[in-house]
């Protein structure tokens, strides 16, 4: 049996790690990326192997476009050496961090960092990997609930994610000829390290955010990882060029 293969960026922690675990539970092989901690990446690889899956973790900084050609070559080598394949099936553009900055004080450096991470990275990384994605494969871009609702401090971050959602639709149109589906997810507040872990660790913030969520609690990584595994399954094969809200009904 040929296993499907997913490349998940930012798989060392948080949502990316959880997506990799849920995909692995469904028999999908994982190429994960990490930026700073090979030890965390190794721990995720071990967790996947303990589930009976297999994973290879590669270093990647999604803001470093000049490294993308070498990264794509490394992915091609990994596919051949570890999975005996020439291409992979799913690309999840997940890596990234939030940045709190009130509009009045936000700097060009913050703007550039957010755009480089959440827009330029997914554009040019995907471009470099296109030849390695199977016809009929899928691309999933990780957006944010902040594209739909507003809270002070996230104007630049949300603007970058909004552009990513628009990009998603155009990618779906242009890659349709290869039957590659391109969708996005927009998670609401999820308890990860994101934003310094405030939603997870600060009781006051956790409670006030939960009050704005119809289901009465903040999201957990499993809420997103499970959804991603479902969205990438064949059952969702007719969904294309759309954004899935995964927020438990936040600020409806
Ligand atoms: N948590 C939420 O509430 C929430 C809600 C909506 C959307 N999102 C989006 O979901 C995605 C994952 O967030 P998360 O909550 O899982 O955050 P997280 O727990 O902070 O994990 C972020 C992951 O991305 C990696 N990363 C960050 N910047 C990177 C870069 N420049 N190049 C490569 N890897 C990089 C991190 O690697 P290092 O360990 O090296 O830093 C880590 O593996 C992000 O795109 C975020 O915007 C999160």
**Encoding tokens for residue 67?**
């490294």
pLDDT at 2: 83
Q: Is the pLDDT of residue 1 over 80?
A: no
What distance in Å separates the CA atoms of residue 121 and residue 115, rounded to the nearest whole number? 8
For 10, how many CA atoms within 13 A lie in the half-sphere containing its CB?
20
Q: How far is the CA of 95 from the centre of ligand 1 (A)?
A: 5
Alpha-carbon span 204 to 151, nearest angstrom? 16
Of the residues 12, 143, 154, 247, only one is catalytic, namely 143
Ligand 1 atom closest to the Cα of residue 116 is 31
CA nearest to 75, candidates 63, 66, 90, 88:
88
User: Does the beta carbon of 117 lie inside 6 Å of ligand 1?
Assistant: yes
157 is catalytic: yes
Give percent of the chain above pLDDT 70: 100
Average pLDDT, whole number, for the chain? 98
Section 133-148 average pLDDT: 98
Ligand 1 center from residue 97 Cα (angstroms): 4
35, 113, 243, best to mutate for ligand 1 pocket (most atoms within 8 Å of CB): 35
Domains and CATH numbers, the chain: 5-239 (3.40.50.720)
Beta bridge partners, 138, equal 90, 181
Whether 126 is in the pocket of ligand 1, judged by its Cβ within 6 Å, is: no
Q: Is 13 in the pocket of ligand 1 (CB under 6 A)?
A: yes
Closest Cα to atom 25, ligand 1: which residue? 10
**N-terminal to C-terminal alpha carbon distance within the chain:** 43
Phi, psi of 243 (to 5 degrees): -115, 125
Closest by CA position to 189, among listed 226, 216, 163, 162: 216
CB 167 within 8 A of CB 139: no
CA 6 to CA 229: how far, in whole Å?
A: 10
Q: What tens digit of pLDDT does each residue of 93-130 get?
A: 999 999 999 999 999 999 999 999 999 999 999 999 99
pLDDT at 146: 98
**Average pLDDT of 45-69?**
98
- Give whole-number Cα distances, 46 to 4, 30, 129, in Å: 19, 12, 26
List residues bridging with 157 in a β-sheet.
none
**Catalytic choice (12, 34, 128, 144):** 144
- Give the count of alpha carbons within 13 A of 249, CB side only: 6
171-187 pLDDT tens trace: 999 999 999 999 999 99
Active site residue 154: no
Q: Whose CA is nearest to atom 11 of ligand 1?
A: 94
Q: Which strands, in side-by-side order, build the sheet including 243-246?
A: 55-59, 29-34, 5-8, 88-93, 133-142, 181-187, 243-246
Binding site membership of 98 for ligand 1 (Cβ less than 6 Å) = yes
pLDDT band at 238 (very low <50, low <70, confident <90, very high): very high
């Amino acid at each position: 049996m040929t296993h499907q293969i997913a490349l998940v960026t930012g798989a060392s922690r948080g949502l990316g790690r959880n997506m990799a675990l849920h995909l692995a539970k469904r028999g999908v092989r994982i190429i994960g990326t990490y930026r700073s901690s090979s030890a965390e990446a190794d721990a995720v690889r071990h967790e996947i192997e303990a589930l009976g899956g297999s994973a290879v973790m590669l270093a990647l900084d999604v803001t470093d476009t000049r490294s993308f050609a070498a990264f794509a070559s490394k992915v091609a080598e990994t596919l051949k050496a570890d999975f005996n394949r020439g291409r992979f099936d799913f690309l999840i553009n997940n890596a990234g961090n939030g940045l709190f900055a009130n509009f009045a004080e936000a700097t060009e450096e913050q703007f550039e960092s957010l755009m480089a991470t959440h827009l330029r990275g997914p554009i040019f990384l995907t471009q470099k990997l296109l030849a390695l994605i199977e016809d009929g494969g899928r691309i999933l871009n990780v957006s944010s609930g902040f594209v739909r609702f507003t809270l002070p401090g996230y104007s630049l971050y949300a603007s970058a994610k909004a552009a990513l959602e628009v990009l998603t639709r155009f990618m779906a149109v242009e890659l349709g000829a290869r039957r590659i589906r391109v969708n996005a997810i927009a998670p609401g507040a999820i308890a990860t390290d994101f934003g310094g872990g405030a939603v997870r660790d600060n009781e006051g913030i956790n409670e006030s955010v939960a009050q704005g969520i119809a289901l009465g609690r903040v999201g957990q990584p499993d809420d997103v990882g499970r959804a991603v595994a479902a969205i990438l399954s064949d059952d969702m094969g007719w969904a294309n060029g759309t954004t899935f809200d995964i927020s438990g009904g936040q600020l409806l």
